[in-house]
A and B are shown apart, each in its own frame.
Chain A
Amino acid sequence: MKIPQEIQIRLLREMLRIRLVQLKIESLYPLDEMKTPVHLCIGQEALAVGVCAHLTREDYISSNHRGHGHYLAKGGDLNRLIAELYCRETGCSKGRGGSMHLVDRSVGHMGSSAIVGGGIPIGTGLGLSIQMQKKNRVCVVFFSDGAADEGVLYESVNFAVFKRLPVVYVYENNQFSVCSPISARQAGENIFHSIAPHLMLTRKVDGNSVLEVYEAAGVAVDRAREGLGPSFIEGKTYRIRGHAGAGSDVHLGYRSREELAAWESRCPVASFRHHLLAESWISEESLAEMEKMINAEIEEAFRFAQESPLPCGEDLLQYLYRE
């Protein structure tokens, strides 16, 4: 499949934007003004971007605690994301959620769960709602290898296959649950790769190659729209930063410097940038211009967040119920 130049440039722009937002968060995090545990997805941008490139605003996603990339790739409002990290009233969750609980209903992001695996059945249920209302939508469920430890994945995928739900399960295998490597937790490759092809499409892709992700997701999303049921895409990637907070955690010793360096050299953003330059599909000048514009947008978002009001203690009980 030949992916048009225009789309490829957009993929790069989206990945770069997510990366730059996170680097900015990381640089300011030590100031302790963002009083919420951030889980950065640096190094994992290709999965969110390559998948969400196929989605419309009406499509749904279900996200997790490491969800800044999903939120932005789906079109979530940047100002409201940063304001949420500053726990402001103008945040996407009005300062009630924090970094792990992002939402933007206007673009089909229906909320992210910080219980590992918790978003999987909810995304499956969103798929059921699409099917029951006969809407031309799909739901993408993003989850990690930690969630693949959970039984709820098995339960949910079984139901989706049984009902032929328009759901795409995107397994972001970043190889770590906090400090535990996947090799210490799972016996072998995920059981759904062994499912009969007529029941569900499964794919394993390089999660650091946005083009591979884009191609596989395109097939999966089309199948879902055509009523052919769910798909299961595993993208192997790597969590470059520590589990939570800013900076490297390589000093903790649960992974080697060599391993980290090897994956850093496979950076999905840098490698794709290199690819587009080599193809002469983008110039250094236009890349610099792109980066400048993104940085201006980020500066504005942080200013918006920092100047926004904090929620009032008096409003503590608000939003428990929808009236």
Chain B
Amino acid sequence: MIEAIDLTKTYGTGPRAVPAMAAVSLAVRQGEALGIVGESGCGKTTTARTMLRLEEPSSGRLLFDGRDVTHLRGEALRRFRAEAQLVFQNPFDALNPRFTIRRSLAEPLDNFGVPRAEHAARIEAVMRRVLLLPAAQWLDRRPHELSGGQLQRVVLARALIPGPKLLVADEPVSMLDVSVRAGILNLLRRARDELGLAAIYISHDLALIRTVCERTAVMYRGRVVEEGPTAALVAAPHHPYTRALIAAVPVPRVDQDRTPLPIRGSLADAPPPAPGCGFRNRCPAAFARCETDTPALRTTDPGRRVACHLGD
């Protein structure tokens, strides 16, 4: 459905240029959910925004449904926007506070040229999908009359109403209470299954990603360092960074691993100079080759890729 090939996004120019995303190659099939995890500043949000063409890539190609959408403009870009939708992170400021829910849902339909006569039926159907029922009870309310979980359902409805083929959710539940998160995730999963959408979830929370994504990509300093089926990646991480990331996640059980993390330094340290692996200054297993060669993503087991010289 969507494929990024060597996508790079650099902010600024000349020697001060900062690559937010370097040579990212990822693909998501119809009906599949890909998780992108990493810490603040790893480039996961830039990757998502570029794949939605909210940012134009500095280089590389983006294919959507078999078409090249890397440099779309004007009307063609507008049509792509209807097919590739973003679910906002913060439901408390994603909706116009003065609009009724009905108007918030009608707005994207107007933007994408859906005839007015179809609006009521489309709105009714999407409200059923996000389980805000009966719809009539909700449509004339304004955002301040809804709880965070209810608002996020409206935000999801707004993303679904143009009939997209790709849904990108950037930390879709991080602003919500634990008790209602699962409800939103279940809705997202069901919408994806029933509508056959491709989905990309961006999150710092691997535990959460695991509950919704079959595949996961781990990013570090703008690069994908590991990618594979989520279950396999969590059970047996290949990249030392993935290993540290998994070890760092606390679990809601008394008996758990409390040994020190297999990692040195901090993300705040200056990045090591290129070429070479961007993780080598913190890696417990770095060796001579890591200082000189930037590891490329290579396939290990079927469906798994890792950018690390270990085991190569």
- A and B held together in a complex: no
Interface residues of B (CB under 8 A from A): none
